[in-house]
Structure formats: C-alpha cells, structure tokens
Structure 1
Amino acid sequence: MSLILGLTGSIGMGKSTTTGFFREAGVPVWDADAAVHQLYAPGGAAVAGIGALHPAAVFEGAIDRAALRAWIAADATALKQIEGVVHPLVGQSRADFLGDNAGAPLVVVDVPLLFETGGDAKVDRTLVVSAPAEVQRARVLARPGMTEDHFQTILSKQMPDAEKRARADHVIETLTLDQTRAAVFDLIADLTGSRPDA
C-alpha cells in the first residue's frame, strides 16, 4: 500500500507550485479542487444532482459557480444540499485515484481544507505548505479580480496558518522555487528512502 501524504495550506501559500514538484518527481497527486472542477464541468457527475436541487445552477450543461454562490447566499440550507451531492463523488474520485496508484510508494492528496474537514484522519502523514503572512498577502492580492475584502473572507474560513503548522507532520516554506523543490525532494527521500532524480 502507498503512503498517503495529505498536503494542505492556506490561499497563496504555494500549494500548486509544491504539488508540481511532487509530480515532477513522479509522485502521483490527487487534487480535491481539480476533482470538484471536473464534477462541475459539462457532463460532470455532479451536474445532474445539483441541477435537480436547483435548476438555475446549471448553464449550458455545467455548474454555474456564480449561480451556486448566489443560491448559497440566499438559502441557508443550500451548502448542505450541495455537499450532499458533491462529497460522495469527491470521495469516489479519491478512492479511484488511490486504487489506480496502489503500487506507488508515495501518493499525495491535495486538500485545501484538510484539517477543517477532518481529512487528516484519512492520510498517513500531513504536509503544510506555508509562507510568511506578508508574502501570502502579496501573492493573493496580485491575482486578477482579488480584493482585500475577498481575501479576508477566504482567510476567515480557513484554519490559521500557525495552527496548521502546529498540527502538521511536515512543513515546507515556499519562499523560492529552488528551495521549495529541494524541500520536496528531501521529503520524498525521507518518506520513501529513495531520492528522486534531481
């Protein structure tokens, strides 16, 4: 069986960059956000279920995220209904990934709300990707359409970085690409006993 490493980190901390280095090293990566994206895309497995609950949330055969957000804002029960459709499908996607990669010595599951949702109980080790608060803020506010208010709203829904770091088995600081890549390759060597080809 593979060793399952749960990777998480707050917005702007460098999760995408870090998972890219795991992929570069040949480690299979499952991305919870990408799984949801597929479920919401045209023909995705969540489209019919969510459409049955709230037809206005479907546009041209896909989930309209703006309509979904509007529904959640207007109806206190909407999020629970959506999760009732999406969570089992995400769980199946993850199970399929683990089955498909059962022979790999190490697999990574990238889950933004790993600790918040209790997902850390379903992995063997946890890794938090982190950066200083001022670096995080600069990265996030550089994104198209991002505002200070929206950034603060997102942060309010995420466990504070210090708490994540305290709970994690491993922490990688993402200050530079070279340093992040080296830390990923070191961690793979520590967990598998085999260093990826640099």
Structure 2
Amino acid sequence: MSYRLGLTGSIGTGKSTTAAFFAEEGCAIWDADAAVHRLYAEGGAAVTPMAAAFPEAVRDGAVDRAELRRIIAGDPGALKQVEAIVHPLVRQDRAGFAPDAAIIVYDIPLLYETGAEQEMDSVVCVLAPPEVQQQRVLARGTMTLEEFHQIRDAQLSAEEKCARADHVVVTDTLEHAREQVRRILHDIRTTTADA
C-alpha cells in the first residue's frame, strides 16, 4: 500500500518545484492542474458539461481557460458552477492514479477546500513570502494583478493551510526547499518502516 502525501499551497508558492524535488527522490506525482488540462482538452470529460453551462468558454472542442477566467471574473456565481463540474471529475482522475510507488505525492492546490486531505496519510504545505508569491505569478505573464488577487483570495490563506498541514516547505531558496523535502521523506520512510 502506497503512502499518500498531499502537497498544497497557495498560488505562486512553489508547489511545482517542490513536487519536482519529491519526484527526484523517487516519489510518484499526481498533479491536479495537469488533470484539469486533460479534462479541458479536446475530448476531455469536462468539455461537454462546460459547454452546457458556459457555451462561450468552449472553442474548437476544448475549454478556453482564458475565456473561462474572464467569465469567472465577471460573474461571482460562475466559479461555484465551474467547481461543481470540475471537482468531481478531478477526484475521479485522482482515484484512477495507481502507480507502483512507495510514496505518491498528490499535488492539489485546493486540497483543503475540496476535502481531499481526508484521503491523505499526511500533508505538506508549500510557503513563500507574499511578495515573492506575487512576483512569481506575475512573471508568468498569464494573469493580471487583479486576477492573481481574485484567485489567492478565493483560497484558504497560506497561514491556515500551513497550520493544518503536517509538514511545511519554505521555498525561499531551491537548496533549502530540496533539503526540507529530503527531511520529510526521511521522516516518512522511518515512520512507515517502524509501523
């Protein structure tokens, strides 16, 4: 039976980099954002229900994420509708992920918001200073400052996520983050070996 490790954190905190460090250490990784991309792609399971709810957000048989963001920004109720469609499909995708690995890391930005922490053996929260978080997101060039604030404010605060987590990884430097990942894995492997 694989050890299920949840990985969460607010937007721009360094979850993808932290997940890569876990992968380097031999963990299997399931990525919620990648699952959403699969669901939104042509032929993806979210396309038909999304077309029914937001026809203007579907182009060429796929969900247009930029258009969907625009719709959500203009309609406070739209996000709840999108989540009602997408979250069960993401959960189904996650349930179908069964690699042969001692430790599986589930990279889930909305882990606490969706109740997925109940499926995990323990949880890691990734943390970065707020100014670094904002700088990282805006450097991607995919959203405005207003969109960043809207997404960040819709999530649980970083402080609350970290308070609820079993482990915290601070992504101030790459080497420090990598060192914390190794320490967490050492603790998990030691604990599970003793069990």
TM-score normalized by the length of structure 1: 0.85
Superposed displacement of residue 108, structure 1: 0.7
- Which residues in structure 2 correspond to 1:24-173 (within 5 Å)? 24-73=24-73, 78-97=78-97, 100-101=98-99, 103-173=100-170
Whole-Å separation in 2 of the counterparts to 1:53 and 1:16: 30
Give the direction of change, closer, same or farther, for the CA distance of 1:145–1:58 in structure 2 (3 Å limit): closer
* Offset, 1:143: 2.6
Q: Which runs of 5+ in 1 are unaligned?
A: none
**Residue 22 (structure 1) aligned with residue 22 (structure 2):** yes
Instruction: Return 5+ residue gaps in structure 2 as ranges.
Output: none
Task: Report the CA distance between 1:50 and its aligned residue.
Answer: 1.7
Tell me the matched-pair count: 191
Alpha-carbon distance change, 8 to 47 in structure 1, aligned in 2, over 3 angstroms: same
Residue of structure 2 equivalent to 1:176: 173
Shift in Å, 1:37: 0.7
> How many percent identity over aligned positions?
54
Could you say what secondary structure the match of 1:112 adopts? coil
- Contact 1:105-1:192 at 8 Å conserved across structures: no
User: Separation in 1 of the partners of 2:155 and 2:78?
Assistant: 20
- Superposition RMSD in Å: 2.1
Query: Which stretches of structure 1, 4 residues or more, deviate above 4 A after TM superposition?
Result: 73-77
Q: Secondary structure at 1:144's aligned position in 2?
A: coil
1:153-194 CA-to-partner distances (Å, cap 9, x unmatched) read 222112222222211100011111122112112211211239
- Supply the distance in 2 between the matched residues of 1:138 and 1:79 (Cα, whole angstroms): 25
Q: Residue in 1 aligned with 2:10?
A: 10
Q: Is the 8 A contact 2:73 2:147 kept in 1?
A: no
Deviations 1:118-164 (A, max 9, x none): 22122110100112223223323323154433332222112222222
- In the TM superposition, residue 35 of structure 1 has moved relative to its aligned partner by 0.3
Q: Residues 152 and 75 (structure 1 numbering): CA distance in 2 closer, same or farther, change over 3 Å? A: closer
Q: Distance in 2 between matches of 1:84 and 1:15?
A: 24
Amino acid corresponding to residue 27 of structure 1 in structure 2: C
